[in-house]
């Protein structure tokens, strides 16, 4: 037997199943609870047999619990299969349909945003100014694209990796945490976007159709300056995606965050460092680095080409500069607590300094 508890609203009872914070609406209480209460209400029209509705159910319950403390906003649902008159009254043609009642008008607006907890919470906060009490996960670095935003994102000065997904897709759910981690890993790369498109949402399925998406997840890569995608068919671990993007975008990311051991370095400049260690006079090597750096000005890492010059300048004043500076920066990195951008910068500098120190060590061993 299912236990029930009641919430008395304007003399009528809104029934809520035990342990649920979502209000159950039926024809006899709908007007009083939603239209005459003066309270903004998000209403889900669902059907018990609907797969998408089953996927949304736990998220919707979390949403209701997150706002349960505040009596000025309501999260409710209607079994529109059983209560067809309510579905017909508000023009419901598919499931689930989410409609927002502002507490003033009997004409709702349809909600077409994302169906994750973060998107739904942000929507309610935007509409009401009421903040959720539930501690949410850190903001996602994934760019959620719609028909309206997709074309503004691709074809510009950024490389874009897009996952076309569906809410009910098991493989998509398995990919989700990896995709979030990948987006966080590339969050500090201004020329790379990790994006996602809900291929079955009303506001984005036209884009999925345009690009011939027929199964999920489908992953496509749009090189900067191009609106013609390349199909991604590699592995689906974060390491696989990071390797792919580093090759395509010229980045130097490491899976799990930070940059790899090549970040900041240039093969052409490393060759000059080798020549310097092998006996080329410092002034000649510095001049050669300066000349070679002129051809690297368009590179995203150009500031590190300038760092090579700085190291040569410091070496002209102290033979031990590279070793001492490397030890100092490694000490800072070991302490931790650095902002991501600073961590990337210091790691890149240690990669460059290590070229000088490793070469010197190699020469001494000879």
User: Which contacts qualify for 223-232: CB closer than 8 Å, 24 or more apart?
Assistant: 223/159, 223/248, 224/156, 224/157, 224/158, 224/159, 224/160, 224/191, 224/249, 225/155, 225/156, 225/157, 226/154, 226/155, 227/151, 227/154, 227/155, 229/154, 229/162, 232/161
- How many contiguous H segments (helices) and E segments (strands) does the chain have? 13, 12
What does the pLDDT average to over 321-336?
95
For residue 6, is pLDDT > 60?
Answer: no
CA distance 301 to 218: 32
Q: What does the mean pLDDT of the chain come to?
A: 90
Tracing tokens 């990195």 back to the chain, one arrives at 333
Phi then psi for 352, rounded to 5 degrees? -70, -50
Structure confidence at residue 20 (pLDDT): 85
Q: Which residues, including other chains, have CB under 8 Å from residue 20's CB and lie 6 or more apart?
A: 61, 64
Residue listed under structure tokens 């090597």: 285
- What pLDDT digit, counting tens, does each position of 139-182 carry? 789 999 999 999 999 999 999 999 999 989 999 999 999 999 99
pLDDT for position 2: 33
Confidence tier at 15 by pLDDT (50, 70, 90): very low
Tokens at 210, concatenated: 């345009």
- Cα-based distances in Å from 185 to 73, 190, 251, 319: 37, 12, 11, 37
Q: How far apart are CA 123 and CA 146, in angstroms?
A: 16
Q: How many CB atoms lie within 10 A of CB 244?
A: 16
Q: List the alpha helices (DSSP H) in the chain.
A: 27-30, 51-67, 84-89, 117-128, 147-153, 170-185, 205-210, 238-249, 267-277, 282-293, 302-315, 321-335, 340-365
Backbone angles phi, psi at 45, to 5 degrees: -100, 115
Q: Is 224 exposed, middle or buried (0-12, 13-18, 19+ CB in 10 A)?
A: middle
Beta bridge partners of 164: 197, 218
CA dihedral for 73, 101, 79, 11, sign (positive or negative): positive
Pick 299 or 134 by higher pLDDT: 299
pLDDT higher than threshold 80 for residue 137: no
Cβ atoms 263, 348 nearer than 8 A: yes
Write out pLDDT tens, residues 218-269: 999 999 999 999 999 999 999 999 999 999 999 999 999 999 999 999 999 9
For tokens 């890492």, what's the residue? 301
Q: 329: helix, coil or strand?
A: helix
Whole-number pLDDT of residue 74 = 97
* Mean pLDDT score, 72-80: 96
pLDDT in tens, 21-58: 999 999 999 999 999 999 999 999 999 999 899 989 99
Q: How confident is the model at residue 135 (pLDDT cuts 50, 70, 90)?
A: low
Tokens of 268: 């052409």
pLDDT of residue 4 exceeding 90: no
pLDDT for the residue 7: 36
Considering only CA atoms, which of 99, 106, 95 is closest in space to residue 75? 99
pLDDT at 237 (0 to 100): 96
Maximum Cα interatomic distance, the chain, rounded to a whole number of Å: 93
Q: Does the pLDDT of residue 358 top 90, yes or no?
A: no
Q: Pairing mode, if any, of strands 41-46 and 23-25?
A: unpaired
Count CB atoms within 10 A of the CB of residue 303. Answer: 11
Catalytic machinery residues: 50, 53, 169, 172
pLDDT at 359 over 60: no
pLDDT of residue 133: 80
Give the count of beta carbons closer than 10 Å to the beta carbon of residue 148: 10
Residue 309 to residues 37, 284, 292, Cα–Cα distance (Å): 70, 12, 11
pLDDT computed for residue 19 by the predictor: 60
Residue 290 has pLDDT above 70, yes or no: yes
């Amino acid at each position: 037997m299912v236990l029930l508890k009641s919430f008395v609203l304007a003399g009528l009872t809104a029934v809520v199943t035990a342990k649920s914070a979502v209000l159950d609406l039926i024809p006899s209480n709908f007007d009083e609870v939603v239209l005459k209460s003066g309270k903004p209400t998000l209403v889900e029209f669902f059907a018990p047999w609907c797969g998408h509705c089953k996927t949304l159910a736990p998220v919707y319950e979390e949403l209701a619990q997150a706002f349960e403390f505040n009596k000025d906003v309501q999260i409710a649902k209607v079994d529109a299969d059983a209560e067809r008159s309510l579905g017909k009254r508000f023009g419901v043609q598919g499931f689930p349909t989410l409609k927002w009642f502002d507490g003033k008008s009997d004409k709702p607006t349809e909600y077409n945003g994302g169906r994750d907890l973060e998107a739904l919470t942000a929507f309610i906060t935007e509409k009401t100014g009421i903040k959720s009490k539930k501690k949410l996960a850190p903001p996602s670095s994934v760019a959620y694209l719609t028909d309206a935003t997709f074309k503004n994102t691709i074809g510009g000065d950024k490389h874009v990796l897009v996952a076309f997904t569906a809410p009910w897709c098991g493989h998509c759910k398995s990919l989700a945490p990896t995709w979030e981690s990948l987006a966080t890993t590339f969050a500090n790369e201004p020329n790379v976007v990790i994006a996602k498109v809900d291929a079955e949402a009303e506001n984005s399925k036209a884009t999925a159709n345009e690009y011939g998406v027929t199964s999920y997840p489908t992953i496509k890569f749009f090189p900067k300056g191009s609106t013609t995608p390349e199909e991604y068919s590699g592995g689906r671990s974060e390491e696989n995606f990071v390797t792919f993007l580093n090759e395509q975008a010229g980045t130097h990311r490491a899976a799990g965050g930070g940059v790899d051991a090549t970040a900041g370095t240039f093969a052409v400049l490393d060759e000059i460092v080798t020549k310097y260690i092998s006996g080329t006079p410092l002034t000649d090597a510095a001049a050669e680095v300066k000349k070679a750096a002129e051809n690297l000005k368009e590179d995203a890492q150009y500031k590190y080409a300038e760092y090579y010059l700085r190291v040569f300048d410091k070496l002209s004043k102290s033979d031990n500069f590279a070793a001492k500076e490397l030890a100092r920066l490694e000490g800072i990195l070991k302490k931790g607590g650095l902002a991501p951008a600073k961590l990337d910068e210091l790691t890149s500098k240690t990669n460059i300094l290590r070229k000088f120190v490793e070469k010197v060590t190699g020469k001494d061993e000879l």
